[in-house]
Each structure stands twice: as structure tokens, then as C-alpha cells.
A = this chain, B = another copy of it.
């Protein structure tokens, strides 16, 4: 059997970001206001600092202003909720991103729910999860949304297909399953308690691995010709899929890095500009 075709998230993300930058420039021209993303960081976790800086750089390149809100590690839930409520009411901020993790002592869910749904460009609120699940207009979680864009770009027909999602996190596994279901796939959720994972995965026309366990899904688990999306990221640029064996069985597969990863931030930027357009009445 021939090797799978690679799904090039880097190239697709670049096209989306270029289009987003055009929209941002047009919006700024028309309204005199640039789209603005507020990034909220609690503490100084080095990885989080790096992520936030990277997101700000990407914003700047796309013509999106970013406002960096850095709070000390000892910030309380009440203080964080207050900050997010203020940003939600601030007309000069169009999108809000709360960088995960916020620290053990903070009620992260209470913080997420303080983000106004119309500024929830990272798709973390209850309202965004529900609109994703019910196929209603709203913002999507960025990685799940990026995965659907990637499937569309490669003309993967989902209706009636069997999709298996390995992982059930609030931000990745659960919403990506709901988005696939809204596109008429027959969706199965697997997780750490699933028995005979290999045989369940082998039923899938589309596999999404989103669990954070290196090389959990192996080539022998994949139905020949299936589409394989690796949304895992583990140390050393290793995904949740054993790429070398999977590439021999799949018809389409995302590499790690360069597959799902770049789509996440492209979706964030795109949703920020969409949020700004709506709030600015364009």
C-alpha cells in the first residue's frame, strides 16, 4: 500500500492567516479601530509566557492589536474574574484569551465563565461548548475548529462516516467529537477506560487522537485508508499517533509538528477578527 498523503497544516494556516490579515486591515481602514485581543496570564510559568508572547507576535503580524494583562501568581479567583469581567465590558477589546494553566488555587471554570461569549475567541465558555454541540453560531475551541478546517481543506466527507475521538477533554476531545457529530459523522468517544482501544479505533474512517499519550495509536490500529488526525503533542515533537507505522495505512495523516498545531493559532486569529467585525458592526 502506498504512503498516506500529508495534511499540511502549516500551509493551510498560512493561507488563513493571510486572509485574516486582509480582513483585519480592511476593518481597521473602515472603522479606524484595529481588532484587539486581550491575553490574560496569571503567574510566570515559562512555557505560558512563551505561548503568550508567540500569540502576541502572530497577532501583530496579522494586524491585530494585543493587550497583555499579566497578573501575579497569587491572584485570587475573585480578582481574575473581576479582570475578565472588565475586559468583557471594555469596548476596545474584541477577544479575550485566558492562558491555561491559571494555578491550582484558582477556579478556572469561574474565570472562563467571566468571559463574555461574544469575546470568547478561544471557545472555552459553557456557551461556546453548547453552540458547538448544537451546531449553532458561536465561537469554536481553536484546536477542534482548526481540525475541522483541515478536514474540509482536504475534502474529507464526514457525513455517515465513522469517526473515533481518542480523548475527552473539555477543550479538545469533547468539542471535536461534537463538531464531527454536527457534520453527520457517527462519533465514538474513547478514553483511558475504553477496553480494546485498538479494535475500536480500527472501526474508524476518521481517527482523532487527542489524549496526550505518545504514540498511543499505532499503524496496526488503523483501518487501511482511514484519515488520521494527530492532535497530541508530547515532549520531543511526538504526537499521539505512531507516525511511521500509521503513514503506511492511512490515506491522509497530519504530521507532528506542522499538522494540527498551526491550525490552532490561525483559528484564534480568525475568530478574533470575526469578533471585532461583529462588535464594530461591520
Is A179 engaged at the interface, CB distance under 8 Å to the other chain? no
Closest to A131 in B: B126
Is A109 engaged at the interface, CB distance under 8 Å to the other chain? yes
CA distance A133 to B188 in the complex (A): 15
On chain A, the number of residues with a Cβ less than 8 Å from chain B's Cβ atoms is 28
Known contacts A130-B126, A194-B160; is A168 also within 8 Å of B181 by CB?
A: yes
Is A187 engaged at the interface, CB distance under 8 Å to the other chain? yes
Closest to A190 in B: B186
Closest to A173 in B: B181
Q: Do A136 and B109 touch across chains, with their CB atoms under 8 A apart?
A: yes
Residues of B within 8 A of A133 (CB): 129, 133, 170, 174
CA distance A168 to B183 in the complex (A): 12
| Of the residues B129, B130, B174, B194, contact of A186 by C-beta under 8 Å | B194
Contact flags (1/0) for A170-197 with B, using CB distance below 8 Å?
Answer: 1000100010010010111111011100
Name A residues whose Cβ lies closer than 8 Å to a Cβ of B.
Answer: 109, 126-127, 129-131, 133-134, 136, 159-160, 162, 168, 170, 174, 178, 181, 184, 186-191, 193-195, 200
A-B contact pairs, 7 of them (CB 8 A): A126-B126, A133-B174, A162-B200, A184-B193, A186-B194, A188-B188, A188-B189
Listed from nearest, the 9 A-B pairs whose CB atoms lie closest are A126-B130, A184-B193, A188-B188, A186-B194, A160-B195, A160-B193, A126-B127, A129-B130, A187-B189
